[in-house]
Amino acid sequence: MKVLGIESSCDETGVAIYDSAAGMGKEGLLGHALYSQVTLHAEYGGVVPELASRDHVRKTIPLIRELLADSKVAADSLQGVAYTAGPGLAGALLVGASIGRALAWGWGIPAVAIHHMEGHLLAPLIDNPDIEFPFVALLVSGGHTQLVYVRGVGEYKLLGESLDDAAGEAFDKTAKLMGLGYPGGPSVAVLAEQGRKGVYRFPRPMVDRPGLDFSFSGLKTFTVNTFQSSAKDAQAKADIAFAFEEAVVDTLAIKCKRALQQVACKSLVVAGGVSANKRLRLRLHELVTGLDCVVHFPRPEFCTDNGAMIAYAGCLRLQAGETQDISFRVNPRWPLSALTAPTKTHS
């Protein structure tokens, strides 16, 4: 089944075509394209929702045209459309959802609404469809930090989550307060490469309590206070970025270990924007080696928001017969645990 995926929940317009029948030397992913609004929002130090919606309106259709041409896929060969229906910014979601739903109607093919975090969670399977269920998923993005026990597609049990800032949000806010670029994750990570180990040691929040929840807001404040009372030279800044990143990574690793042991599972999947972080990838590889477990990440470009993960998740659900009728809606606050396994929709 050949599916067009559309992602527009925040500040990236992502489109892709996934074909479950590809194989035979051809990759499942026939093509993908991304338009990032980063420069548009950079001067505000964060995403401006109205600007995001308007830019999705301008970019989505031309990007789909470009994708079809580049991947040499005829529109009339598509068999389904998947779009992100939440969680995310209401206006931004509505753009992708209405375009996706309208295209499917015009082409006379089914459409399906996809949960953005399910897209992230399944992203490592795009290149590695043999990853077996069950696994523990660490979802680390700008809006979410969650540990989820995944029994199958749509079968998600929340084990723990952030009680305040998400990991990506902590990176973004810390970067902003330290005068670094937006988005904060990559800029802190680049600066941290020049930092020295052992100069500062920051707290690992909530690791001395039982449970699998997180809290990164205090660490952000601790980092900013340290920054304000430090020398403002480049080396001090890099040392602070290093200590902050090390504390986030360490905290995530400690909780991953705890989660794997709690549910007696040997497989960890890590996804979402922060899973692009090199130090996190390295640390989790070390962790699973010691535990005799395995860890899977998406390829770096599919860690952050993209259309491929929506096309892939959509393909799985459409193949099972799940569809969205014409009266589509978006759900800006949509808990992952509300999802169910794909089921045939009866109209």
Non-local CB neighbours of 236 within 8 Å, separated by 6+ positions: 230
Rounded to an integer, what distance in angstroms lies between the CA atom of residue 98 and that of residue 164?
32
Nearest approach, Cβ of 187 to ligand KG4 (angstroms)?
8
The yes or no reply on residue 91 touching ligand KG4 (CB under 6 A) is: no
Nearer to ligand KG4, 154 or 186 (CB): 186
The site partner of 186 among ligand KG4, Zn ion, none (C-beta below 5 to 8 Å per kind) is ligand KG4
The yes or no reply on residue 191 touching ligand KG4 (CB under 6 A) is: no
Nearest approach, Cβ of 135 to ligand KG4 (angstroms)?
19
CA angle 106, 120, 183 (to 5 degrees): 105
The yes or no reply on residue 37 touching Zn ion (CB under 5 A) is: no
For ligand KG4, the binding residues in 138-157 under the rule CB under 6 A are: 141-143
18 DSSP β-pair partners: 3, 29
Rounded to an integer, what distance in angstroms lies between the CA atom of residue 328 and that of residue 339?
17
CA angle 62, 39, 331 (to 5 degrees): 65
Nearest approach, Cβ of 109 to Zn ion (angstroms)?
26
DSSP letters along 204-238, please? -TTTTSSSS-B--HHHHHHHHHHHHTS--SHHHHH
Give just the sign of the alpha carbon dihedral 48, 50, 55, 57.
positive
Q: Which of 3, 6, 1 is nearest to 306 (CA)?
A: 6
Among 172, 239, 246, 305, binds Zn ion (CB under 5 A): 305
Angle, helix 217-228 to helix 167-177, in steps of 10 degrees: 20
For Zn ion, the binding residues in 135-164 under the rule CB under 5 A are: 141
Among 5, 31, 184, 205, binds ligand KG4 (CB under 6 A): 184
The yes or no reply on residue 96 touching ligand KG4 (CB under 6 A) is: no
Nearer to Zn ion, 80 or 86 (CB): 86
Nearest approach, Cβ of 144 to Zn ion (angstroms)?
8
For ligand KG4, the binding residues in 116-135 under the rule CB under 6 A are: none
The answer to whether residues 114 and 87 touch, using CB atoms and an 8 Å cutoff, is: no
Instruction: Tell me the per-residue interface mask from 259 to 298 with ligand KG4, x by CB under 6 A, - otherwise.
Output: -------------xxx-xx---------------------
Nearest approach, Cβ of 122 to ligand KG4 (angstroms)?
13
The answer to whether residues 73 and 2 touch, using CB atoms and an 8 Å cutoff, is: yes
Amino acid identity for residue 35 in this structure: Y
Nearest approach, Cβ of 88 to ligand KG4 (angstroms)?
7
Which residues contribute to the site for ligand KG4 (CB under 6 A)?
10, 141-143, 168-169, 171-172, 183-186, 189, 272-274, 276-277, 304-305
Which residues contribute to the site for Zn ion (CB under 5 A)?
141, 305
